[in-house]
């Protein structure tokens, strides 16, 4: 089983020709749907074939009802703290060139508490993987990873969004971290004290990237996702043994992307599901599955609702 701890948002999206300036009123095509990194990853994990539990905080409102009904549709065991605060929201403007401006109303997500997380002893006790992101209070994330580790689960932290601050204490609780390029560059600046350009990471020398990963997470695995350039992985134990498989790059699958929103969430959910399904299989095989799963997720518009199923990956790629 996988326990995902994180956020649920109701996304409100306006597609406009340009992004609004201060004082300006624009017209745009409106759509709404579920979002939040935690929920997206939980849906990906469930559809990738894992028994999935989602620990979150929801308001007593239509947004909360939406989360409850969608979780049930995907067979997700929902453990929601019921809050007086409204369910989380995101207001998103997307312009004609795909650029966006986003405002998050954390609402109930900001109230996810340590006691609520620690109270899920029945599921945490049987978890193979605990997966968290940083759209929830840091103490709640720390409690989740700490409980997972104490129970012998593999702990995974997706350190997103990029503007969320990480601490050494938090990172040390993760067996695996999965930053994208921007998040990786931010963490290297903060924790290693070196300035690197997020856009230049895919082109960086692999041995150099590996050395930065080792400094960032000395005892764990770092997977840097590189969008259409695939991903890079760096392992601690193999590095200690001087194994030539301590780091490698995996190219992205060739697909026809129409919307890459949530690709990172697809990747994380699928990686967690693969780790839970076959904990003794090679990590490279798990990465390949996550990469295939994430690639397929980009062929449909939307995030949570666009997540593929395990069978879609098999049908397209054979494994």
Phi, psi (rounded to 5 degrees) for 205: -60, 135
Residue 13 among known ligand-binding residues: no
**Token duo for residue 169:** 């204490």
Nearer to ligand ADP, 64 or 179 (CB): 179
Residue 227 among known ligand-binding residues: yes
Work out how close the CB of 76 gets to ligand ADP at its nearest, in angstroms, rounded to a whole number. Answer: 21
Give the residue at shortest CB distance from ligand ADP: 264
Sign of dihedral through CA atoms 216, 220, 225, 226?
positive
Binding site for ligand ADP (CB under 6 A): 160, 180, 225-228, 230-231, 252-253, 255, 257, 260, 263-264, 267, 291, 294-295, 298
Sequential DSSP letters for 121-173: HHHHTT-SEEEE-SSS-HHHHHHHHHHHHHTTPEEEE---STTS---HHHHHT
Tell which phi-psi region holds residue 197, choosing left (phi > 0), alpha (psi between -120 and 50) or beta: beta
Which segments of the chain does DSSP mark as H helices, in order?
37-47, 62-73, 114-118, 121-124, 138-150, 168-172, 181-187, 206-216, 236-241, 263-277, 283-297, 310-317
Nearer to ligand ADP, 54 or 232 (CB): 232
- Find the catalytic residue in 74, 77, 175, 265: 265
Work out how close the CB of 295 gets to ligand ADP at its nearest, in angstroms, rounded to a whole number. Answer: 4
Nearer to ligand ADP, 11 or 253 (CB): 253
Work out how close the CB of 115 gets to ligand ADP at its nearest, in angstroms, rounded to a whole number. Answer: 30
| 223, β-bridge pairs | 233
Catalytic site includes residue 265: yes
Work out how close the CB of 257 gets to ligand ADP at its nearest, in angstroms, rounded to a whole number. Answer: 4
Residue 36 among known ligand-binding residues: yes
Residue 132 exposure: Cα atoms within 13 Å on the Cβ side:
34
Q: Which residues are annotated as a binding site for substrate?
A: 9-11, 36-40, 135, 265
Q: Which residues are annotated as a binding site?
A: 9-11, 36-40, 135, 180, 225-230, 259, 261, 264-265, 297, 300, 302
Q: Which residues are annotated as a binding site for K(+)?
A: 259, 261, 297, 300, 302
Residues designated catalytic:
265
């Amino acid at each position: 089983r996988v326990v995902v701890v994180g956020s649920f948002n109701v996304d409100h999206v306006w597609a406009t020709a340009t992004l609004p300036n201060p004082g300006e009123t624009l017209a745009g095509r409106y759509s709404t749907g579920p979002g939040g990194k935690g929920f997206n990853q939980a849906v990906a994990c469930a559809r990738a074939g894992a028994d999935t539990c989602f620990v979150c905080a929801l308001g007593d409102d239509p947004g909360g009802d939406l989360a409850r009904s969608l979780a049930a549709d995907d067979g997700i065991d929902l453990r929601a703290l019921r809050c007086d605060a409204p369910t989380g929201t995101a207001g998103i403007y997307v312009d004609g060139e795909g650029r966006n401006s986003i405002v998050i109303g954390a609402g109930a997500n900001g109230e996810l508490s340590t006691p609520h997380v620690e109270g899920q002893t029945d599921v945490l006790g049987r978890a193979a993987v605990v997966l968290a992101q940083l759209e929830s209070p840091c103490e709640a994330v720390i409690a989740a990873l700490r409980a997972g580790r104490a129970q012998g689960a593999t702990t995974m932290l997706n350190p997103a969004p990029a503007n969320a601050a990480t601490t050494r204490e938090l990172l040390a609780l993760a067996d695996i971290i999965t930053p994208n390029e921007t998040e990786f560059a931010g963490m290297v600046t903060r924790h290693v004290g070196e300035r690197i350009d997020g856009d230049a990471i895919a082109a960086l020398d692999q041995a150099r990237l590996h050395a930065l990963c080792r400094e960032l997470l000395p005892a764990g695995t770092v997977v840097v996702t590189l969008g259409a350039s695939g991903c890079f992985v760096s392992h601690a134990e193999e590095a200690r043994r001087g194994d030539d498989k301590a780091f490698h790059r995996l190219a992205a699958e060739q697909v026809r992307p129409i919307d890459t929103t949530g690709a990172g969430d697809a990747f994380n959910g699928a990686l967690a599901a693969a780790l839970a399904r076959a904990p003794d299989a090679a990590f490279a095989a798990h990465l390949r599955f996550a990469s295939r799963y994430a690639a397929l997720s980009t062929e449909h518009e939307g995030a949570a609702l666009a997540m593929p199923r395990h069978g879609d990956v098999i049908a397209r790629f054979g494994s």
